[in-house]
């Protein structure tokens, strides 16, 4: 009997896929990678997650795709920046608590240093014609980016008429009645919890990020790699992490209250951004309306126009977009002279660091405390019904933010002032570039900045020559 002919190998199989897992990764090697990642993590959460997938799953094979996606699903359920939390999770899984702290911190610290420098340049040279022209072009692009964020989240969240209704109600609540963002989140969560009991299918969003793909070869932490001892759940570990997190928060708040008073600017920033950190469902764009309400209207740490400029700076730097809060802290700390009138830069840098600490501390606690629970539940996590409703509500909130930015950009002196047709044209062109031609964030901001510089610097020369 003729033996069966073996099947012809596919092109992918001919590429010599690795058959053995990579060697164990030392703490120093991982540290160098996380530091590198902190400087190259452009592109918002989607770009950052894609970058980590390419580096960690495809090229280095430190973790399998299934384990990567399982961790990502958990991070998507949490308030806070999911890409930074994912880095913290993988660092923790590989090298225990200090591995997670180093991975999460290095995802943020380069961005903090860069934003402190850019914030100082902005405040020092923002009125220089060249800088003013660049920001004139970037602001309309930011308006288009916020609108695009609403579309991206809406395409995932608004799967039926109920979700559309929640999004519309949240928009009306914040636009017409100036309802606080936490109240909108709480109401949406309650609607999701109640609705899931009556109509469970309505509030069950499709979870996950697609099926895992094969072909990368065995990973250091593979699908069936046993959970390491430090990643197994224990009540003692959970209590220890929660106690350490709450203790650090309490000590930091006590130090601020002792040095600047309960009503001092730094203390108020610590408390305000603690609340903001717990409300970042749906990403940074979702919490920006809450930050605007508190930072601009309530505490007056900066103006609405400065808030738009800060978001533009956040878009052009590596790290999570929520790092725009460092700009808010720097401007507020400098304006309030938290270290006195003779140390304005240091006061701004201190305030930016305080804001960053309180914004990201909950993320570390969520990962280090919840990671062992996640490791024990492979394939069982998904979006909850309350989170589904909250995500739908976030769409309406972000749409309101886009209108707020458009109003300030197109009518810089209010509706009673002149309409800026050039800024509106840049916004429409940027929107078309994002939606129709899928232009990346950095090329878009660069092109719009050049257009703004040309409008503010070159056009007056032609006007002067013509007249």
| Cα of 306 vs its chain's centroid, Å | 19
Confidence (pLDDT) at 369: 95
The CA distance from 258 to 253, in Å, is: 8
Confidence (pLDDT) at 282: 59
Per residue in 360-379, pLDDT (tens digit) is 999 999 999 999 988 876 54
User: 34 and 106 in contact (C-beta within 8 Å)?
Assistant: yes
Of 179 and 274, the one with more pLDDT? 274
The CA distance from 404 to 400, in Å, is: 6
Tokens found for residue 375: 């490791």
Tokens found for residue 39: 């400087």
Q: Find the distance separating the first CA and the last CA of the chain, reported in whole Å.
A: 97
Mean pLDDT computed over 432-444: 87
Among 280-284, 298-302, 428-432, the range scoring the smallest mean pLDDT is 280-284
Which residues have CB under 8 Å from 175's CB, separation 6+? 400, 403
Beta-carbon count within 10 A of 416 CB: 6
Mean pLDDT computed over 426-451: 89
Among 39-43, 94-98, 260-264, 420-424, the range scoring the smallest mean pLDDT is 39-43
Residue 76 reports pLDDT greater than 50: yes
Among 327-331, 342-346, 444-448, the range scoring the smallest mean pLDDT is 444-448
The CA distance from 155 to 165, in Å, is: 14
The CA distance from 310 to 323, in Å, is: 10
Which residues have CB under 8 Å from 297's CB, separation 6+? none
Among 58-67, 273-282, 433-442, the range scoring the smallest mean pLDDT is 273-282
| Diameter of the chain measured on Cα atoms | 97
The CA distance from 89 to 92, in Å, is: 5
- The helix (H) or strand (E) run that includes residue 19 is none
Please report, rounded to a whole number, the percentage of residues in the chain having pLDDT higher than 70: 86
- DSSP secondary structure, 45-85, as one string: HHHHHHHHIIIIIIIS-SB-HHHHHHHHHHHHHSSS-HHHH
Residue 18 reports pLDDT greater than 70: no
**What's the pTM?**
0.73
Of 135 and 28, the one with more pLDDT? 28
Please report, rounded to a whole number, the percentage of residues in the chain having pLDDT higher than 90: 41
Give the DSSP letter of residue 280: -
User: 57 and 213 in contact (C-beta within 8 Å)?
Assistant: no
Tokens found for residue 283: 């990403």
The CA distance from 28 to 102, in Å, is: 11
- The helix (H) or strand (E) run that includes residue 212 is none
Among 34-43, 171-180, 211-220, 240-249, the range scoring the smallest mean pLDDT is 211-220
Residue 56: closest CA among 253, 222, 236: 222
The CA distance from 100 to 105, in Å, is: 8
Geometric angle at alpha carbon 440, from 45 and 322, rounded to 5°: 30
> Which pairs count as long-range contacts for 347-352, CB under 8 Å and 24+ apart, including other chains?
348/116, 348/119, 348/120, 348/123, 349/116, 350/266, 351/265, 351/266, 351/269, 352/112, 352/115, 352/116, 352/119, 352/326, 352/327
Mean pLDDT computed over 236-255: 96
Confidence (pLDDT) at 141: 86
Per residue in 291-338, pLDDT (tens digit) is 888 999 899 999 988 988 888 788 778 888 889 999 999 999 999 999
Residue 4 reports pLDDT greater than 80: no
The CA distance from 56 to 165, in Å, is: 40
Residue 466 reports pLDDT greater than 70: no
CA dihedral for 303, 304, 308, 314, sign (positive or negative): positive
Residue 347: closest CA among 331, 357, 334, 356: 334
The CA distance from 75 to 88, in Å, is: 10
């Amino acid at each position: 009997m003729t033996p069966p002919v073996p099947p012809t190998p596919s092109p992918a199989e001919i590429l010599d896929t690795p058959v053995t897992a990579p060697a164990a990764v030392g703490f120093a090697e991982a540290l160098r990678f996380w530091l590198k990642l902190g400087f190259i993590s452009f592109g918002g959460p989607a770009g950052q997650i894609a970058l980590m997938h390419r580096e960690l799953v495809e090229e280095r094979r430190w973790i399998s795709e299934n384990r990567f996606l399982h961790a990502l699903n958990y991070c998507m359920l949490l308030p806070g920046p999911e890409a930074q939390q994912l880095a913290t999770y993988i660092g923790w899984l590989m090298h225990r608590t200090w591995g997670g702290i180093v991975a999460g911190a290095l995802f943020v610290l380069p961005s903090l240093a860069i934003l402190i420098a850019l914030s100082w340049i902005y405040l020092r040279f923002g009125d220089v014609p060249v800088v003013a022209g660049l920001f004139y072009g970037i602001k309309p692009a930011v308006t288009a980016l916020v609108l695009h964020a609403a579309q991206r989240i809406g395409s995932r969240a608004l799967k039926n008429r109920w979700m559309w209704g929640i999004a519309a109600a949240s928009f009306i609540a914040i636009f017409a009645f100036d309802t606080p963002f936490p109240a909108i989140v709480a109401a949406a969560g309650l609607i999701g919890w109640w609705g899931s009991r009556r109509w469970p299918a309505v509030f069950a969003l499709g979870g996950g990020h697609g099926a895992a793909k094969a072909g990368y070869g065995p990973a250091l932490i593979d699908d069936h790699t046993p959970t390491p001892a430090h990643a197994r759940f224990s009540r003692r570990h959970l209590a220890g992490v929660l106690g350490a997190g709450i203790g650090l928060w309490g000590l930091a708040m006590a130090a601020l209250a002792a040095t600047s008073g309960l009503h001092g600017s730094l203390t108020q920033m610590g408390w305000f951004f603690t609340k903001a950190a717990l409300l970042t469902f749906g990403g940074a764009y979702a919490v920006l309306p809450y930050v605007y309400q508190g930072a601009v209207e309530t505490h007056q740490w900066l103006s609405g126009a400065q808030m738009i400029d800060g978001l533009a700076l956040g878009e052009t730097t590596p790290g999570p977009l929520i790092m725009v809060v460092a700009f808010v802290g720097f401007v507020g700390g400098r304006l309030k002279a938290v270290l006195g009138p003779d140390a304005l830069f240091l006061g701004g840098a201190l305030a930016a660091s305080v804001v960053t600490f309180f914004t990201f501390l909950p993320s570390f606690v969520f990962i280090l405390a919840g990671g062992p629970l996640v490791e024990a539940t492979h394939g069982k996590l998904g979006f909850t019904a309350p989170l589904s409703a909250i995500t739908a509500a976030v769409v309406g909130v972000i749409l309101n933010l886009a209108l707020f930015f458009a109003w300030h950009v197109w009518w810089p002196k209010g509706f009673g002032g002149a309409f800026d047709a050039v800024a509106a044209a840049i916004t429409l062109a940027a929107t078309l570039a994002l939606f129709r031609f899928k232009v990346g964030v950095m090329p878009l901001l660069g092109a719009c900045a050049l257009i703004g510089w040309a409008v503010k610097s070159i056009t007056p020369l032609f006007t002067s020559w013509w007249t």
